[in-house]
Amino acid sequence: MYTISEALRGIFKNKLMSTVSMGVMSLSLFIFGVFIVITINLLILINFAQKHVQLEVFLKDIPQEKVQSVYEARTDTLYNLISAIDEVDSVTYITKEQALERFKLDFPEFTELLGPDFNPLPASFIVYPSPGFRTSIYLQNISHKIQDTLDVSLGRVEEISYGKAWIDTLDRWVKTIIMADLITGLIIAIASIFVIANTIKLNVFARREQIAIMKLVGASDSLVSKPFLLEGSIHGIFSGIAASSALYFSLKMLGRWATNIAFPTLPMFMILIFIGFSLGIFGSWLSLRKYLVDPWIDEDNQKGDRTK
């Protein structure tokens, strides 16, 4: 009870500083929450794009009279060879006829250029990499493995395409988002810790005589520190609740114009409250570690000794 009553007394006694402290932390956590929501939605879009990452292996047309063995001619053999590559999730075979039908659907304005007996489009395999292997480096490695398997051994590969330019752009977006998250989180953490530490420092200074007396009668640092640590955690918890609530209602209003925004309500509330609690505890601990090492009564005695 002593810890709770002292923590609440510190908050209400310094209402202005407590309000400023929680206001700054709430704003910081709100900004951080906005950035988390933006990051979640961008990662969802990137994940959707990554699911459509694929390699297209175009095969050479080999006239039947030039096929040297049944092994080279069998499509299922080529299919099995590509499927056996560790980084490959699935493979789809597209015949020349299917490729022509797709071309006519995608480019109907050029349909007249293709006669009934004229099909210049090659057969191909659509190769889908496994999750975790959809970056530019892995796609290049898969491409080399397919090239070595089908071209060197069987002489069947005409070209392998996987859109290297936009895959590289996708990779840069992922790295940029992660770096921005780290920088934003670091800035907000430093600002919040600074505000909490200074608030607790002022409370400690205001109660310096009480603390000195408690230490003289044998109170441990743990007993003296608990009210201040609880006070910092209360600041952080209420700041987290305020920030997550403001973020929730802001997104509700924004949802009238953008209905597809992903917002995991309960996890976001828990994350922001936990971050606020952790920053409050840590900021208080930093302040206490500095200002409770030596009791003020010793400092006063030293001053008295110097005046004699």
- Among residues 161, 180, 210, the one where a domain terminates is 161
128 and 196: one domain?
A: no
Per this entry, what is the length of the chain? 308
Q: Does the predicted model carry a pTM greater than 0.85?
A: no
Q: Are residues 26 and 66 in the same domain?
A: no
Cα-to-chain-centroid distance, residue 130 = 21
| Phi-psi sector, 163: left (phi>0), alpha (psi -120 to 50), beta | left
- Residue given tokens 């402290």 in the structure block: 21
Q: Hey, CA dihedral for 94, 108, 160, 73, is it positive or negative? A: positive
Give Cα 25 distance to the centre of its chain.
Answer: 21
Same domain, 122 and 192: no
Same domain for 178 and 152: no
| Tens-binned pLDDT, residue by residue, of the chain (308 aa) | 767 777 677 667 777 777 877 888 888 888 888 888 888 887 787 777 777 788 888 887 766 555 445 445 566 777 888 888 888 888 888 888 888 888 888 777 777 766 667 777 888 888 988 888 887 788 888 888 888 776 655 667 778 887 777 777 877 887 887 788 788 878 877 877 777 677 667 766 766 776 777 777 777 777 777 887 888 888 889 988 998 899 888 888 876 776 677 777 788 888 889 988 888 888 777 777 765 655 444 444 444 444 44
Same domain, 157 and 212: no
Query: Quick one: 174 and 291 in the same domain?
Result: yes
Full domain range(s) for residue 261 = 2-48+169-297
What the block records as the tokens of 250 is 């802001």
Could you say which of 161, 186, 216 is where a domain stops?
161
Asked if residue 252 and residue 154 are part of one domain, the reply reads no
Among positive and negative, which fits the CA dihedral 14, 17, 20, 26?
negative
Q: For residue 62, what pLDDT is reported?
A: 65
Residues 120 and 87 in one domain: yes
The answer to the question of residue 305 being in a domain is no
94 DSSP assignment: E
Q: What is the pLDDT of residue 187?
A: 84
207 and 59 co-located in one domain: no
Residue 91 shares a structural domain with residue 228: no
307: in domain: no
Which CATH number goes with the domain that contains 107?
A: 3.30.70.3040
Structural domain contains residue 43:
yes
In a domain, 302, yes or no: no
Tell whether 228 is covered by a domain. Answer: yes
Residue 98 lies in a domain: yes
36 with 154, same domain: the answer is: no
Q: Domain for residue 306, yes or no? A: no
Closest CA to 277 of 187, 193, 183: 193
Residue where a domain stops, chosen among 161, 187, 204 = 161
- Where do runs of H (alpha helix) occur along 207-264? 208-216, 221-254
Q: Which of 302, 291, 299 is nearest to 206 (CA)?
A: 291
Question: What total of structural domains would you count in the chain?
Answer: 2
- Please indicate, yes or no, whether residues 60 and 191 belong to a single structural domain of this protein: no
Closest CA to 291 of 198, 158, 187: 198
Long-range residue pairs from 189-193, CB within 8 A, at least 24 positions apart, any chain: 189/279, 191/24, 191/28, 192/24, 192/25, 192/28, 192/29, 192/236, 192/239, 192/276, 192/279, 192/283, 193/279, 193/282, 193/283, 193/286
